[in-house]
């Protein structure tokens, strides 16, 4: 008589040199666990231990952060891995234990609970192209932060060397010319000038690296075959960030869940007869920043986004509320473009480029009353077990048609 082997979820709390796991069945019974090193020997023992359960899914916390190094190794070895957001496991830990104190064991337990209870967790897939985009856009962002930091240091030194300092928009070449005119007479002044000269040289190097990084990103985004660059206000860095962070867009049931994920969906703060919404400070802040830059660029030009913003102001919205509405509509537009890319169709943009018309633009169309102010969507329907990545992949083809049917609402 054949005995059916139960499917298990292996919750994993990761660190650099060790991981703690807990093996849990669908009825939340704990059937195993332990602590393993992350070196070659410890990882081999971890896999050997997990193979006691043929039907298994790994629920790893922070697959885009501290858990990435283990999650990537598991995926490379053919294991099914889903990403558990740290905030979600933290909330489950509080509800499961009644307090917020944490250990590696309690963390692994809460991660396993999330893996068992929640459906729709993002599967971790081996996608070399997305990994390249993520690495390159992170490097470009790091260069930008380094440039800002050194420019601030240079302005501080120039203010002490030159009465009134230098202008705000200062290039390395302009700073170099300013330093040529400075003739300090004291030892402190000479050292200060030398430090400023070092910063100018660093800025010139960073500028050259940033230019090369932009060129590399543009080539990678074009290779990805996305139409995000056709949207007014999205450059190579923004498109790369969207592709890298979103991954599989079909993991979002609709545009409202996508807006909730990126933080552009307002939060319902109504009370009694008073109906109002407030700005969401949650969501993926990197994607929220991309959408904010997109909105700012559209407001600076004669685009449909600018016209939409003006209509909201004329309807009585404040500048902040109108900006929030615009970002919400741009989120819908990006979501539609990502779905169109998935289906192999050309995406339309909010004006300012060829092939666009205002009727097909999300920001140019007249929204239904209150559609741009739609708050966070209702809670997702939870299931007792997490869908394995293999099943998710087989369901995507069928779900794509449903997602495209929803675009008629735009």
pLDDT tens column, 214-247? 999 999 998 888 889 999 999 999 999 999 888 8
pLDDT, tens only, 154-174: 999 999 999 888 888 888 899
The model's confidence at residue 292, banded by pLDDT at 50, 70 and 90, is: very high
- Please, are residues 245 and 287 in contact by the beta-carbon 8 Å criterion? yes
Residue 144, pLDDT score = 93
Residue 377, pLDDT score = 60
Q: What angle do CA 37, 38, 39 make, to 5 degrees?
A: 95
What sign has the CA pseudo-torsion 101, 102, 103, 107?
A: positive
1-10, 44-53, 205-214, 314-323: least confident range: 1-10
pLDDT, tens only, 359-405: 333 333 333 334 445 555 654 444 434 444 333 333 333 333 333 33
The model's confidence at residue 200, banded by pLDDT at 50, 70 and 90, is: very high
Residues 6+ apart with CB under 8 A from 267: 277, 278, 279, 280, 375, 376
Beta bridge partners of 60: 12, 83
Q: What is the phi-psi region of residue 33: left when phi exceeds 0, alpha when psi lies from -120 to 50, beta otherwise?
A: left
More confident residue, 249 or 375: 249
Tokens of 19: 């991981």
Q: Is 57 exposed, middle or buried (0-12, 13-18, 19+ CB in 10 A)?
A: buried
* Residue 116 CB neighbours (<10 A): 23
**Whole-number average pLDDT of the chain:** 81
Length of the chain measured in residues: 410
CA 87 to mean position of chain CA atoms: 15
Tokens of 375: 């708050």
Region 116-135: what's the mean pLDDT?
85
Residue 213, pLDDT score = 93
**Residue with token string 């867009």:** 249
**Residue with token string 């060129």:** 215
Residue 376, pLDDT score = 57
Nearest to 388 by CA among 31, 49, 128, 54: 54
Task: Write down the pTM of the prediction.
Answer: 0.71
Q: What is the DSSP string of 87-152?
A: HHHHHHHHHHHSS----HHHHHHHHHHHHHH-S-PEEP---HHHHHHHHHHHHHHHHHHHHHHHHH
């Amino acid at each position: 008589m054949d005995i059916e082997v139960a499917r298990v979820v292996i919750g994993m709390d990761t660190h650099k040199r060790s991981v703690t796991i807990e093996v849990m069945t669908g009825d939340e019974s704990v059937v195993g666990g332990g602590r393993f090193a992350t070196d070659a020997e410890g990882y081999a023992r971890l896999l050997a231990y997990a193979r006691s359960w043929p039907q298994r899914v790994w629920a790893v916390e922070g697959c885009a952060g501290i858990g990435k190094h283990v999650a990537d190794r598991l995926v490379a070895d053919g294991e099914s891995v889903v990403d558990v957001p740290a905030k979600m496991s933290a909330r489950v830990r509080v509800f499961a234990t009644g307090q917020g104190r944490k250990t590696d064991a309690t963390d692994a337990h809460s991660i396993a609970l999330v893996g068992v209870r929640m459906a729709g967790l993002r599967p971790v897939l081996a996608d070399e192209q997305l990994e390249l985009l993520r690495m390159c856009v992170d490097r470009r962002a790091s260069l930008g932060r380094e440039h800002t930091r050194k420019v601030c240091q240079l302005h501080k030194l120039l203010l002490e060397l030159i009465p009134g300092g230098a202008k705000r928009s200062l290039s390395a070449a302009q700073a170099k010319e300013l330093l040529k005119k400075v003739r300090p007479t004291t030892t402190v002044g000479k050292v200060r000038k030398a430090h400023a000269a070092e910063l100018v040289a660093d800025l010139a190097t960073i500028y050259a690296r940033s230019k090369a990084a932009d060129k590399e990103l543009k080539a990678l985004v074009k290779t990805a075959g996305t139409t995000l660059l056709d949207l007014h206000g999205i450059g190579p860095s923004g498109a790369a960030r969207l592709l890298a962070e979103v991954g599989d867009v079909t993991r979002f049931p609709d545009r409202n869940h996508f807006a909730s994920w990126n933080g552009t969906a307002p939060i319902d703060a109504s009370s009694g007869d008073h109906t109002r919404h407030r700005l969401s400070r949650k969501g993926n802040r990197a994607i929220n920043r991309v959408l904010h830059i997109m909105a700012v660029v559209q407001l600076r030009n004669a685009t449909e986004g600018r016209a939409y913003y003006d209509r909201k102001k004329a309807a009585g919205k404040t500048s902040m509320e109108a900006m929030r509405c615009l970002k919400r509509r741009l989120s819908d537009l990006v979501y539609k473009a990502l779905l169109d890319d998935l289906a192999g169709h050309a995406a339309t943009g909010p004006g300012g480029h060829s092939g666009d018309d205002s009727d097909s633009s999300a920001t140019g169309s007249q929204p239904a009353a209150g559609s741009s102010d739609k708050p966070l969507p209702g809670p997702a329907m939870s299931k007792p077990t997490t869908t394995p990545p293999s099943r998710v992949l087989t369901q995507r083809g069928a779900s794509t048609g449903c997602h495209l049917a929803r675009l008629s609402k735009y």
